[in-house]
Amino acid sequence: MTSEHKTAIITGGLSGMGLAIARRLAKDGTIVFVGTRGAGDADYARSVLGADADHIHAAALDVRSRESVDAFVDHVVVTRGGVDILVNAAGVYEEAGVIDHPDQVWDDHIDINLSGTFRMIRAVMPHMKRASWGRIINLASVAAHHGMANNAAYCTSKAGLLGLGRCVSLEGAAHGITCVSISPTWVETEMLKRFIDADVQSTGQTLDQVRAEYAKSNPQNQLVQPSEVAELAAFLASDAARALTMEDFQVNAGSLW
């Protein structure tokens, strides 16, 4: 049921859900390669990975660039002989209303969240096809299903992942390749912690009060943890998930925002 001895690529793998998934897959014996723009700094990557630095490999990756994507994937293939698992966790989030919406905010969301995912899938699928086995997991969001004021770029980019995943599922089905997405609600990542800190500064509330407000966004009254998303990803990357494809799994704690 595990992904032992397989090879995984995780984009955005030095923070938040990407890092949690990297650690979880490595725990199963998967050889993990994480790629982020910041991973070009080896000292920084090792400081983040800590004890995992010896068995999680980090290298610079810019999903906005086809050249960077292809070079990263080629390196993994030369090193390991192929790619079995791809987790697309790289992403950006910035709020803006539709009226006077900055072009740069829109372009960044589409280019990183959606097109970056496409570039990674395009690069790994030939290797998965040759191996007749592959698992592709895209980190979407409940925002892929539900709109939110001042979030047009983010919601659109995440909704696009669902359409992309359906096409990839159909093209990969005959070759043992699955493609699914995970759509969490608020997850207690570094990004959410930055939002909480900003709210503390702007509202004068305490850290605990602001955190509690975010927790109230779902009936369980608890923030989802990156490790919970990672457990689901580990299952979806396993042999046991063969029949799970063209599906989106919402980790919403009972709430759809």
3-state secondary structure of 85: strand
Query: Quick one: 104 and 201 in the same domain?
Result: no
145 is a domain residue? yes
Query: Quick one: 164 and 244 in the same domain?
Result: yes
Query: Quick one: 217 and 230 in the same domain?
Result: no
2 is a domain residue? no
Contacts with 139 (C-beta within 8 Å, 6 or more apart), sequence order = 12, 17, 18, 87, 88, 89, 91, 181, 182, 184, 229
Q: Looking at residue 70, which CATH number applies to its domain?
A: 3.40.50.720
Distance, CA of 2 to CA of 253 (rounded, Å):
26
Query: Quick one: 136 and 216 in the same domain?
Result: no
pLDDT of residue 255: 83
Query: Quick one: 101 and 44 in the same domain?
Result: yes
| Residue linked to tokens 């938040």 | 16
At 51, give phi and psi (nearest 5°).
Answer: -65, -20
**Residue 151: CB atoms within 10 Å:** 22
Using alpha carbons only, give the angle 18, 22, 27 rounded to the nearest 5 degrees.
150
* Alpha carbon 61 to its chain's center: 14
Tell me what the mean pLDDT of segment 215-233 comes to: 95
Total domains in the chain come to 2
Tell me the residue ranges of DSSP E strands in 29-82: 31-36, 56-60
Rg (CA), the chain: 18
Give tens-digit pLDDT for 129-188: 999 999 999 999 999 999 999 999 999 999 999 999 999 999 999 999 999 999 999 999
Q: What is the pTM of this model?
A: 0.95
pLDDT for 256 beyond 90 = no
pLDDT for 257 beyond 90 = no
Measured CA distances, 8 to 28, 39, 99, 162 (Å):
12, 16, 41, 21
Query: Quick one: 59 and 98 in the same domain?
Result: yes
Query: Quick one: 164 and 88 in the same domain?
Result: yes
154 is a domain residue? yes
Q: Largest Cα–Cα distance of the chain, in whole Å?
A: 57
Query: Quick one: 164 and 212 in the same domain?
Result: no
Query: Quick one: 204 and 236 in the same domain?
Result: no
Q: What is the DSSP letter of 143?
A: G
* pLDDT above 90 coverage of the chain, percent: 93
231 is a domain residue? yes
257 is a domain residue? no
Query: Quick one: 105 and 140 in the same domain?
Result: yes
154 is catalytic: yes
> Which comes out higher in pLDDT, residue 255 or 179?
179
127 is a domain residue? yes
> How many distinct helices (H) and strands (E) make up the chain?
9, 7
Catalytic residue among 44, 93, 154, 214: 154
Distance, CA of 48 to CA of 251 (rounded, Å):
26
Q: Residue 20 is part of which domain span? A: 7-186+224-251
Name the band, by pLDDT with cuts 50, 70 and 90, for residue 102: very high
Query: Quick one: 79 and 196 in the same domain?
Result: no
132 is a domain residue? yes
Query: Quick one: 204 and 94 in the same domain?
Result: no
256 is a domain residue? no
